[in-house]
Structure formats: structure tokens, C-alpha cells
Amino acid sequence: MPYRAPLTDFQFLFDHVVGFDQVAKTEMFAEATPDTVEAILSEAGKLCETVLAPLQRPGDLHPARLENGVVRCSPGFADGYRAIVEGGWVSIAASPEFGGMGLPMALTSAVNEMMGSACLSLQLNPLMTQGQIEALEHHASDEIKALYIPKLISGEWCGTMNLTEPQAGSDVGALRTKAEPNGDGSYAISGQKIYISWGDNDFTENVCHLVLARLPDGAPGTKGISLFMVPKVIPNADGSLGARNSLQVVSLEHKMGLHGSPTAVMQYDGAKGWLVGEPHKGMAAMFTMMNNARLGVGIQGISAAEGAYQHALAYAKDRKQGKTPVAGSGAIIDHADVRRMLAVMKAEVFSARAIALSCAVAIDMAKATGSAEWAARAALLTPVNKSFGTETGIAVADMGIQVHGGMGFIEETGAAQYLRDVRVTAIYEGTNGIQAMDLVGRKMMDGGEAAFRLIEEIEQNAHSVRAQYPNMATAVWNAAESLREATELLVGQDMNDRFAGAVAYQRAFARVLGSHFHLRAAMAEGHDGPRTALARVAIKRLLPEHIALLAQARAGAAELYALTDEDLAA
């Protein structure tokens, strides 16, 4: 499928909307100069357009398969992966101490989005490795760091994370995988894990699994879980490969989408592993990787949305069908309803992309400055980004099928693949419902302080441009004030009442935040151009949704539990 990297949009967001200039001014990220950013975006864009995009359909049509215990990957994926690692795209944000570039997560996020739009199934592999590198940098011993991180950065080895078990889905604390001390500093890991993205491949020398397991003295629940590095092939002290470990891929899942990405059932039978972090503190260590992945999965949603939008736009400009009251090319893009769908798709992609990059900027600023306020903002935006990014991917891909009409339902057009591939993103790395509960629960333990600070910024920005953009600015200010009032009510609610309205609240938050970024884009444009026109679409047509969403958020849980199990089954 042809793909055009949206370089101009990334550059505009960095320069005018998400505050990337603050990141570049820090000592830690001083090398992220405008020239460097432009060069990296340009080179990554070329890779995605010319090397990765041609792999999208072959990966779907020729899925990864398991043959005699060996995973055989989709045609061309080995070459695509080689191009990714040779360009250094796995390690943009990794520490220079181990061979990484040490550049901001915001820049990594832009590159990841482009790779995901080009070929989402393959992009999932380096995304997992990036998260593992970060987890090891924060929690592993010096010996493990020195042995594993350079190989992960070089792409010779790749990484996974192993949480889920057949009886323990989102309830990770119910896991049964055991870790027994071997007496030599290593542990024997035994158990089964499911849904392991890129659990194996046929193009890297080694696959490094981060596995959650329970030590013999581990308490029940999440507080007794530890984290272990369990490699497919046990490395020697010098990094060369030694004996094959006692683990195997039992099967590959037959999935709705992401066919090129092998999702494995992993069996560990006394496999040798090494503790990462402190005993019984595995969830804290794994959350480093999971939060990285949650940012990345939100971006995967945007990747699919951008790909689906480009695909639909090209079809709409080419397909001749019917007559319209307005003069045009004769293609279906002249029809008001098709034009509506395309405008909404483009506006949603902008909102989601701005939220994701704003989250990445907050992560970078927290890392560079040690600021608790930036860390709180990053924490607040992570579930919003994950949920809204993935919901946008699903909605835009679905709308892309609609733009194609009957041809969208025909697999040969490729429109349906975007929806099939992106659907899982709302489920993995914590379902969007779990993200919403995290937002209104853990992320509001500060009494809503981080949320109120962000809402205040939105209101101040809108107030500052009421003279130039009276209608749009007033709408954004009013929406932010409604969000403030709902947040004040929420932090005083019983927790289950919060949970009942959490998904609606989270989406309302994203609606307001996305409109804020559209307004900032119009301000930066400074005239009545295409970004201002797009902002009007977002603010006039999409922002009003927040009213109904906040009504749901305030409703509480009573009427839900008034329906008994029997009532629901009737």
C-alpha cells in the first residue's frame, strides 16, 4: 500500500503546538536541534515509504507460521527488520552509554508512528525492544545492562514482555509461573505465558524475554511477583551465544489482524533466568516497560488511522460516482458526506497525534529536569493517549471502509486490514477500560491537581485568543470549564461511581484536549488557512460530544447495579 510520511505535520506540531522547544532547550536533549530533528524525520520517512510500506500486504496475506518449533516470519520481514536496525531506529531514545542516540521520546514517537503506518505488524517488534531497553536501564544490574542492552540496541537481539497467563488476564497477580533459585545466582523459570507479541522470529540471533514469576517466598497477588530476564539462547559473559534455554513456542495465535506479527504461547520448563530489579518488586519494574508500551500502543492507533486516512483519501479522489450540487472533479470526494468523513478523519488524526506527542514531551521534560509536575503530567496523559489514540485508529479505519463503500468490504482493496490490525490496540497493554479506571483512580490520587493544571492552561490559552477566534476560543474555554466541574465532582465520588463513568470521562478529556491543540494550530497559522479550517471541523463538529460524555461521567454506578445478573441475561 502506498504511504506518504506526514513530515510537515510532525514538524508543525513540534514547532508550534506541543512545546518541543522546551525539550530541545534542556541540557540532556540539547542535540535535538532543528536540523537533527528534520534529518531524522526525513530519513525515517524514506525508510517507511520505500522499505516498510511494501511489506504491509504481504504480512497480512502470508502470516507468520510455526514449523517444527521454528517461527517462520512473513516474506520480506527479515530485510525490513535489517533496514530498521541498520538505520538505528530501534535505539533513538536509548542511552548513549550503551550505543543509543539518547534523543527525546517525542522524536522516537514520531518515527514509531511512521513505521506503524507503513507496516504495523513489523513495527511491533522494535516497539517491544524499546520498552525492554528502558526497563533494563532503570532496573537491571550493571552486569545485565552491559550484557543485554548493547545487543538489543544493535538489533542483534530483540525483546518481549511476558505477563499474561491462561488463568490470569488483566489480573496479573493471579499468575502461577514459578521461579526457583538455582544456587548460582540464576533461577529456574517454569510456567506458561500467552499473547506474547513477537515471542520468536527467524531473523535475530536471540530473543530476550522479560518474564513475571513468583519466588518461593513471594506473597500472593501482585506484591509477590518478581521480574526475570529469560533469553531464548543463554549468552556467555562476552555476549557470544551459548546453550539453548529450556523454553519453546507452543503455538501461534490465529488472529483477527496483525498477521505478520507472531503472537506466541510460550512454555518455560525450568528455563534459566536472572532477576531484574529487587525480589518481589517485579510489577514496578515491568510497569516501566508497560508505560513505554502504552505510549507506543496509543501511537500504533494513530499509525493505523493515518494509513487508513491516506488510503481512503486516495480512493475518494479517484472513484467517479454520482453527481453533486457543487462543481468538482466528479469523484466521490465532491459528495458532502464523503467530504465530512475525510475531514473528520483528518481532524481526529491531528488531535490524537498532538495528544501523543504532548505526552512524549512531558516524559522527556520529566526525564531531563526531574520535575514532579512534568512527571505527573506524563502520568496523566499516558492513559488518555493510549485510549484516545487506539479509539481513533479504530474509528478512522472503520470510516475508511465506509469511504470505500462496497469495495471497503472486499479484502483486495486493503481498507479492511487497517481495522483488523488496529482493533487489538484497545485491548492489549491494558484495555481502554483499565486505562480509564487508572485515570480516574491512581492518576487522581493527587486530588486532581495535575488535571486541574492542564485544564487551567487550556482555559488561559483559549482566553488569550478570544478576540482573534471568538467562536472557537469560547467553545474550547466553555468545554474546559465543564471538564473542570466534572473533575471536581469526580474526585469527591465513591470509587465505583468513578469507575462507572471513567471511559466517558477519559474520552471527554481527550475531546477537550484535542480541540485545545487544534486551536493552537489555528493560532500558529495566523490566517484563515487549512489548519484553521480543520480546527473548525474539530471544534464545531467533534467537541460538542464532550457534553454527553460528561453527563455519563457524572451518572454514577447505581443504575448499572440495579440490573441484576438475571436481568442482563433475560
Residue type, 19: G
Question: What is the total count of domains within the chain?
Answer: 1
> Is the CB of residue 320 less than 8 Å from the CB of residue 333?
no
For residue 25, tell me if it sits in a domain. no
The pLDDT, as a whole number, for residue 89 is 96
The pLDDT, as a whole number, for residue 223 is 86
* Residue 537 to residue 340: CA distance in whole angstroms: 9
User: What are the CA-CA distances from residue 107 to residues 11, 24, 113, 115, 211 (Å)?
Assistant: 10, 11, 10, 13, 29
Residue 177 in this model has a pLDDT that exceeds 90 = yes
Residue 350 in this model has a pLDDT that exceeds 90 = yes
The pLDDT, as a whole number, for residue 387 is 98
For residue 221, tell me if it sits in a domain. no
* H or E segment and range at residue 374: helix 372-404
- Supply the DSSP symbol for 32: -
For residue 527, tell me if it sits in a domain. yes
The pLDDT, as a whole number, for residue 172 is 72
- pLDDT category of residue 169 using cuts at 50, 70 and 90: low
Mean pLDDT of the 352-358 span:
98
For residue 242, tell me if it sits in a domain. no
Percent of the chain with pLDDT over 70: 99
Residue type, 354: A
Residue 291 in this model has a pLDDT that exceeds 90 = no
- pLDDT category of residue 159 using cuts at 50, 70 and 90: very high
Identify which of 385, 363, 383 has the alpha carbon closest to the alpha carbon of residue 440.
Answer: 383
The pLDDT, as a whole number, for residue 2 is 85
Average predicted confidence (pLDDT) for the chain: 95
pLDDT tens, position by position, 128-152: 999 999 999 999 999 999 999 999 9
For residue 252, tell me if it sits in a domain. no
User: What are the CA-CA distances from residue 390 to residues 192, 269, 285, 299, 403 (Å)?
Assistant: 28, 36, 25, 8, 20
User: What are the CA-CA distances from residue 465 to residues 174, 462, 520 (Å)?
Assistant: 52, 6, 9
For residue 569, tell me if it sits in a domain. yes
Beta-carbon contacts of residue 306 (< 8 Å; ≥ 6 apart) = 6, 113, 117, 349, 353
Q: Which of 326-330, 390-394, 471-475, 517-521 has the lowest mean pLDDT?
A: 326-330
The pLDDT, as a whole number, for residue 353 is 98
Q: Cell 477519559 appears where?
A: 506
- pLDDT category of residue 244 using cuts at 50, 70 and 90: very high
Burial letters 22-61, b for 16+ CB under 10 A, else e? bbbeeeebeebeeeebeebbeebbebbbebbbbbbbbbbe
Task: Note down the domain range covering 492.
Answer: 431-570
pLDDT tens, position by position, 64-106: 999 988 999 999 999 999 999 999 999 999 999 999 999 999 9
- Taken in order 535, 540, 545, 548, the sign of the CA dihedral is positive
Catalytic residues: 429
For residue 18, tell me if it sits in a domain. no
The pLDDT, as a whole number, for residue 173 is 72
Give DSSP secondary structure letters for 486-521. Answer: HHHHHTTS-HHHHHHTHHHHHHHHHHHHHHHHHHHH
pLDDT tens, position by position, 312-329: 999 999 999 988 888 889
Which grid coordinates are listed for 66?
510455526
For residue 226, tell me if it sits in a domain. no
> Is the CB of residue 462 less than 8 Å from the CB of residue 477?
yes
Which grid coordinates are listed for 456?
487551567
